[in-house]
Amino acid sequence: MFLPTLPYGGGKTARQTVTFGGVRYGRGGGDGELSESLNLSTLQFPALSQRPPRTQAGSWNSPTALFGRGKLCVVDGSALLYDGETVGTVAPGEKQMAAVNTKIVLWPDKKYYDTAQKTFGDLGASVTAAAASFTESTLTLPGQNLEAAFAPDQALDISGASLPENNRSLVLRAVSGDTLTFYAGSFTPGSSATPVTVERKIPDLKLICESNNRLWGCDDTTIWASALGDPLTWYNYDGLSTDSFAVSVGSDGAFTGCCAYGSGVLFWKEDLLHKVMGLQPSEYQLYTYTVQGPKAGCHKSLQVINEVLYYLGAEGVYAYAGGTPALISENFGTRRFRDAAAGTDGSRYYLSMADAATGAWGLWTYDPQRAVWLREDDTHALDFTLLDGELLFLAGKTAWRVGQTGGAADDDLPWSALFYPMDETLHNKKGASRLLLRLELAPGAWVTAELREDDGPWRRWGTLHGQRGRSAVLTLLPGRCDTLQLRLSGSGRCVVKSLIREFVLGSEV
């Protein structure tokens, strides 16, 4: 009797990973993607390689903020340093900084440093005199040097005058010695029997940015802009193109970020966007959109690369190109993050943030051209800035330059790549017969390969050392398994050029 012949379903299949991917913390990973990475980069894409070395840009005692404007500006404790020299005193703590013309402004201190005049001072000013006299257009405060405090075209608030109609907010037209001149008919002539105060007020802004030579900002309910080119002048509404600007908004919730974008300025809440468009105050229009915005505490994560704005929101990292923001961090799965700060070198997005569940810090990079995320290390960066085309970040007491391809500061840095579990998503039983890795090793570098079959222990399969620089193929021979995971780790410069898998399909039972 003849029995039926069962078809043979086995065979050897080879698959080559030509393009390596980035990290993926959720499900659905494919060949070449990573479960985790350390000190990797897309600089030699499509191969897998290490990030460039970092070099120190400076070290201080208690730094909390960096800003690049011609030279490096640093807040170190209560000292403001510019190009290494102490130029002013501020309150300790984190800062927001922006530059308008030659002035670097600091918030929440409301102070500035003029890099051209080399002067440091308060944005606001106040002068009080026990005696004061008014004409129809002038106010005189005897003995006061008003030229040192105020300048023409600034909006001033006058209070304390014994004649109530002289307590006004007016735009200054001229100043000479102890006399301020305003438009004719501004005052009721006479002397004040009570002390008079003249003040240049600055709004209490929570967030700031610079756009089109104006300082922009917001408090809880209002969006503000300074006069053109002058961060000392607010509340000036003469109907001129150089005027300051303010508009109230009625939306719920606190603002979580603001930034210049194209020809407009964006003011974000966690679930809302207010966009100001126009070239001058008479043309400014406010548009409101219900979209996902930056998460609270992540206002420093906003960065623009090639006209695309990136930021950390409640559900992950978003890319905004003028329409509806797109989530670009699906690779992070269910992991959520907080307290993000970011910077860019013009081509990559560097993002330092804390895991919302564990509090663990990390520095990730996103390559928009290749849509690849990689984790560099556990750096907690307080601030980022761009100076002379170089990206710097502040971590601990040290500022580091990013991406110095010719440097040797950490050429022997450790690195690792934990590959996503390899599973053919077939019901057949199978056995991986071998893995072939093609690598390039710099002199003195080394790499170790480990394998884990199903949920078993890690097994070390081999180590390669670079001698005078070499290219090599590393062959790994795993046993029969359903899921296979590869881990590479090493030190020094190593390029993983390709990965070839060979496996044999078995039966369906």
Angle at 329 between CA 19 and CA 363, to 5 degrees: 85
314 and 401 belong to one structural domain: yes
Same domain, 334 and 374: yes
In the listed set 290, 319, 344, which residue is the last one of a domain according to the structure?
A: 290
Residue 304 three-state SS = strand
Q: What residue numbers bound the domain in which 471 lies?
A: 12-50+413-505
pLDDT of residue 370: 94
Cα separation, 377 vs 410, whole angstroms: 13
Burial label for 439, CB within 10 Å (0-12, 13-18, 19+), is buried
Q: How far is CA 503 from CA 28, 339, 388, in A?
A: 21, 45, 51
Phi-psi category of residue 155: left, alpha or beta, with phi > 0 → left and psi -120 to 50 → alpha: beta
DSSP states of 258-291: EEEETTEEEEEETTEEEEEE-SSGGG-EEEEE--
Whether residues 398 and 311 share a domain: the answer is yes
pLDDT by residue (tens digit) across 146-204? 999 999 999 999 999 999 999 999 999 999 999 999 999 999 999 998 999 999 999 99
| CB-based contacts of 148, cutoff 8 Å, min separation 6 | none
481: phi then psi, degrees, rounded to nearest 5: -160, 165
The residue written with tokens 């090639």 in the block is 306
**Does residue 150 lie in a domain region?**
yes
Query: Exposed, middle or buried by CB within 10 Å (0-12, 13-18, 19+), for 383?
Result: buried
Give yes or no: residues 256 and 313 share one domain: no
Tens digit of pLDDT for each residue in 75-128? 999 999 999 999 999 999 999 999 999 999 999 999 999 999 999 999 999 999
Task: Judge if 212 and 269 occupy the same domain.
Answer: yes
Q: DSSP string of 476-495?
A: E---B-S-EEEEEEEES-EE
Say whether both 90 and 39 belong to one domain: no
Closest of 385, 390, 419, 424 to residue 407, by C-alpha: 390
Closest by CA to 340, choosing from 325, 323, 318, 308, is 318
Question: pTM, whole model, 2 decimals?
Answer: 0.91
| 296 belongs to a structural domain | no
Domain presence at residue 5: no
Name residue, tokens 């040192």. 148
How many whole angstroms separate alpha carbon 484 and alpha carbon 454? 6
Whether the CB-CB separation of 222 and 276 falls below 8 Å is answered with no
- Walking along the chain (509 residues) 10 residues at a time, the average pLDDT comes out as 52 65 87 93 91 94 96 98 98 97 97 97 97 96 95 95 95 96 95 95 98 97 97 94 95 97 97 96 96 98 98 98 96 96 96 98 97 97 96 97 62 90 65 81 91 90 78 83 89 90 64
**Which amino acid type is present at position 79?**
A
Looking at the fold, whether 319 and 389 belong to one and the same domain comes out as yes
Q: Of 290, 319, 350, which marks where a domain is finished? A: 290
**Are residues 112 and 158 both part of a single domain?**
no
Among the listed residues 101, 120, 117, the one whose alpha carbon sits nearest the alpha carbon of residue 109: 120
Q: Does residue 157 come out as left (phi exceeding 0), alpha (psi in the -120 to 50 range) or beta?
A: beta
Nearest to 266 by CA among 331, 209, 191: 209
Residues 318 and 362 in one domain: yes
The pairing of strands 132-134 and 207-211 is unpaired
Task: Write out the E strands in 117-182.
Answer: 119-122, 125-129, 132-134, 138-140, 155-159, 169-171, 174-176, 179-181
Element (H, E) at 301: none
| Cis preceding-peptide flag for 46 (omega within 30 of 0) | yes
Q: What is the 3-state secondary structure (H, E, C) of 52-74?
A: CCCEEEEECCCEEEEEEECEEEE
Given the structure tokens 């905004």, which residue do they identify?
Answer: 320
Instruction: Look at strands 303-305 and 308-313 and give their pairing.
Output: antiparallel
In a domain, 65, yes or no: no
Q: Record the tokens describing residue 344, joined without a space.
A: 């860019």
Whether 135 maps to a domain, the answer reads yes
Q: Rounded to 10 degrees, what is the CA torsion of 466, 471, 477, 481? A: 100
For residues 168 and 244, state if they share a domain.
no
What is the domain-level CATH number for residue 31? 2.60.120.260
What does the alpha-carbon distance between residue 75 and residue 63 come to, in Å, rounded to a whole number?
Answer: 6
User: Tokens in use for 23?
Assistant: 């990290």
User: Which structure tokens are listed for 182?
Assistant: 């305003």
CA triple 320-326-331, angle to 5 deg? 125
The predicted pLDDT at position 436 comes to 87
**Domain tally, the chain:** 5
Inside any domain, residue 379: yes
Note whether residue 64 is domain-resident. no
| Residue pair 150/200 in contact by the 8 Å Cβ criterion | yes
In a domain, 1, yes or no: no
Q: For tokens 């290749």, name the residue.
A: 370
Amino acid at 102: T
Are 230 and 173 in the same domain? no
Residue type, 59: S
One domain for residues 326 and 345: yes
Last residue of a domain, one of 180, 200, 220: 200
For residue 45, CA distances in Å to 48, 369, 497 come to 6, 11, 9
Q: What's the rounded Cα separation, in Å, for the pair 258 and 260?
A: 7
Give the CATH number for residue 195: 2.40.30.180
Distance separating alpha carbons of residues 19 and 44, to the nearest angstrom: 11
